Structure 1
Amino acid sequence: MPQILTEANLRSLIDLLVKESKLVVGPKQAGSLVLYEPLATGSDLKLGALPRRSSKELFFPICENILTFKKEEGVTKVQDVDRSAFPETVLIGALPCDASSPAILDAVFSWDYHDDFYLERRRKSTIVGIACTKGDDACFCTAVGYSPYGQEGSDLFLTPLTDGNFAVDVVTEKGQKLVDAHPSLFTEGKGAAPVSFQGPQGEKLDLAKIKEWLDTHFEDPLWQKIADICVGCGACAFICPACHCFDINDEGSADNGARRKHWDACGFAKFTNHASGHNPRDIQNKRYRNRIMHKFKYYSDKFDKTLCTGCGRCVRTCPVGIDIAEILDTINKG
């Protein structure tokens, strides 16, 4: 029998999880923006809006210490970060384009090297996804194989119903554990009809054809055409749910400091700068080409996954109006 969760009980679930000392994160109004932020109470949850930034920073922070060091009496002592202290976390209200991204990133963070920082956060996290009911001209999830109702990456999935309640789908054992821990909040019943998605839905792109085109158009004039516009600000990478480039730096002094992981972006001029001074991607057309190649060829070749969920954030954020969906459509028709 299907299960139903009322909006009041959804907010009560958040209250209970907070009382259980869980870190509860979800869409929250923050001034003029909606962001994924810690929720203190159920009333903080903002439903029906795509947060400005993606939820990836919950698992892959913008900046984090990976060790600290301190010199005492001439001896340098190195201290690892206590990853066991990472909190049990519940991400609530992640739309499909965000809920699906950790499952994409799992591949690279557990490939030839296991990133214990990322993987420990993932292990301790439960994702409650929610179907998307409205989109704008920047959205293109359906074009890259996703859906406003897609359950990929969610442990528990909520579908808004026309009566204001939510249909509940248990997707994983983590989702079942969450339901079992709070049985009084979930009721059995079919419920009303799902809320229909309002907004444009792009025609599905032929991703195999795009990858084939990329294989044979490494020096295509398209890259220079885009580079003439792109300013290399990196906003598209930082706001993307799936981009994951980072750098590691030692900060502080010889006596006291930390080794830190920072987000980086392949669009930055010095991203591939060698210690010798040589830079294999020294001009912008090479850098933007790499961005598209990485998302739609290299990552697919390695992990059989597309490094894009079609959320449209890069389109909304680009200061010069570069539209990756239009670029993909151009390639798809080429």
Structure 2
Amino acid sequence: MQKTITEPNLRLLIDTLVSEGKRVIGPKAAGTMTLYEPLSQGEELNLGELPRRSAKEAFFPLCETILTYERDKEGVRVTDVDPQAIPETVLVAARPCDVAAAPVLDSVFSWDFKDEFFLERRRKTTIIGLACARADDACFCTAVGLSPGDTKGSDLFLAPLTDGGYRCDAITEKGEALLAAHADLFSDAATAEPLPLAEPTLGKLDLEKIRQWLDTHFEDPLWEEIAARCAGCGACAFLCPACHCFDIVDEGGEEKGARRKSWDACGFGKFTNHASGHNPRDVQPSRYRNRIMHKFKYYVDKFDQRLCTGCGRCVRACPVGIDIATVLEEINSK
């Protein structure tokens, strides 16, 4: 099903969804940055730039409580957090590089153990994707098999038109349901032309060739060369739409506290530290190698999906200028 929506009506749609009690998340100005944040009204939607952090926080919060405990004279009382309390959510104007990561993450969170917190958020979220009409030098979605107009992961997909509106394609039943419930805000198919899509500078890479090289180069001087600059700060993992490492920690005291799940990163020195004191990845070259191996070999071997969508956030944020796209180009050229 294809419709169009004007920008004023897109903002009105947000107002309507909020009034219905839904949690609406979209790009929003936050100081000098744009972030995916809860919107209280359509006017807050900022369509000007790619948010600094990814949209994975809609499904996988930076920190979440999974149970609480409290001790009294009758004993210790443990209370589980009920995933059913997670609200119905609409993620609006999420870029293809963010949206495409959601079904990638589905695999790991529903594999040997089903993470009901993540899965319940996914079940209760309708995603409205937005095509990219602009790209900067860090964007490389086309290099990893995606595109600025990729609909993967979207329920409803918006493509900017020359008249300032958006062509709207319903991709899934969730998208069709949202269209049907707010039909008065949409019009029939567009007469205006779509704006040209962005053109990332790095073209498609031979990802299978890269996977095969990684399969036979666990020990290679390249890892030392790259990691000589890596600060192990974790910015790349925290900003990435597809990175999903986390830790679970009990916080509090004898009387009460909580068990919380919080983001972690394989680039941190203590990430693989054992209780014995042994650390199998005790130096930065082995940690950076794991980052590349995980994204372009291990996850591919396990789930037949790559753990990178080419958003370029890690490139923009790296304090020492490590460019993962350049690393992939070098491997691809070998």
Give the TM-score category using the shorter length: over 0.9
Percent of residue pairs bearing the same amino acid type: 64
Q: Distance in 1 between matches of 2:254 and 2:245?
A: 27
Report the equivalent of 1:284: 284
User: Are 2:84 and 1:80 equivalent residues in the alignment?
Assistant: no
TM-score (norm 1): 0.99
Q: Distance in 1 between matches of 2:223 and 2:64?
A: 34
Report the equivalent of 1:56: 56
Superposed, which structure 2 residues align to 1:37-48 within 5 Å?
A: 37-48=37-48
Deviations 1:47-94 (A, max 9, x none): 131000001011000011110000011511100002111110000000
Contact 2:97 2:311 in 1 (8 A): yes
Report the CA distance between 1:190 and its aligned residue.
2.9
Q: Distance in 2 between matches of 1:178 and 1:197?
A: 25
Task: Return 5+ residue gaps in structure 1 as ranges.
Answer: none
Contact 1:161 1:191 in 2 (8 A): no
Q: How many residues align?
A: 334
User: Which amino acid in structure 2 is aligned with residue 64 of structure 1?
Assistant: E
Deviations 1:118-152 (A, max 9, x none): 00011100000010010100000000000000000
Q: Find runs of 4+ consecutive structure 1 residues off by over 2 angstroms.
A: 197-201
User: Are 2:14 and 1:14 equivalent residues in the alignment?
Assistant: yes
Contact 2:142 2:200 in 1 (8 A): no
User: Which amino acid in structure 2 is aligned with residue 318 of structure 1?
Assistant: C
User: Are 2:102 and 1:95 equivalent residues in the alignment?
Assistant: no
Q: Distance in 2 between matches of 1:52 and 1:222?
A: 29
Q: Distance in 2 between matches of 1:175 and 1:2?
A: 11
User: Are 2:274 and 1:265 equivalent residues in the alignment?
Assistant: no
Report the CA distance between 1:198 and its aligned residue.
4.1
SS of 1:311's partner is coil
Deviations 1:204-224 (A, max 9, x none): 011100000000101100000
Report the CA distance between 1:37 and its aligned residue.
0.6
Report the equivalent of 1:255: 255
Report the equivalent of 2:130: 130
Contact 2:141 2:200 in 1 (8 A): no
Q: Distance in 2 between matches of 1:302 and 1:44?
A: 40
Taking only aligned residues, the RMSD between alpha carbons, in angstroms, comes to 0.9
TM-score (norm 2): 0.99
Report the equivalent of 1:113: 113
Q: Distance in 2 between matches of 1:92 and 1:2?
A: 17
Report the equivalent of 2:213: 213
Contact 1:167 1:191 in 2 (8 A): no
SS of 1:321's partner is coil
After the TM superposition, which of the residue ranges 163-172 and 184-193 deviates more from structure 2? Answer: 184-193
SS of 1:265's partner is coil
User: Which amino acid in structure 2 is aligned with residue 61 of structure 1?
Assistant: P
User: Which amino acid in structure 2 is aligned with residue 146 of structure 1?
Assistant: L
